[in-house]
Amino acid sequence: MKIDEIYNAWKEQKSRIEVGKGFSDKVISRIHQYERQKRKPLFDSHRLIELISTRPLGKATVVTAGVLIGFVRMMLVVYAFWGC
């Protein structure tokens, strides 16, 4: 066998390719998944309520935020009276 023949046969062999079963299905499935994620709203109130009600950290965050807001409001009221 000549060098050129070997070289061409090698190129031929390298050009052959078997695509894995279901390759295009996997890609299409990933595209559908991507589209679903894209359509999810940035702010989902139901998801937020679910997060707060099911996670202890969520509940603690809401309570802490409430306390802080209440404290700031009280300070503003006191400041308004003393300021006058």
Partner 1 sequence: MTHETDIIRQVLEGDIESFRLLLARYEKPVIRMIRNITYDRESYEDIAQDVFLTAYKKLASFDRARSSFSTWLFTIARNKSLNELKRKKPRPISEPPEKSNPHNPSDDMAKKEFYGRLDKTLQALPSRQRRAFVLAEFEKLSYAEIARIEGTRPGTIKSRINRAKMKLRTALEEFAGDVL
- Minimum separation from the CB atom of position 41 to partner 1 (A): 19
CB 40, min distance to partner 1, A:
16
Contact 75, 67 (CB under 8 A): no
Residues that bind partner 1 (CB under 8 A): 1, 3, 6-7, 9-11, 13-15, 17, 19-20, 23-24, 26-28, 30-32, 34-35
Non-local CB neighbours of 59 within 8 Å, separated by 6+ positions: 52, 53
* Closer CB to partner 1, 26 or 55, in the complex: 26
- For partner 1, which is the closer residue by CB, 11 or 46? 11
Q: Which residue number, 21 or 46, has a Cβ lying nearer to partner 1? A: 21
Tokens of 46: 């139901």
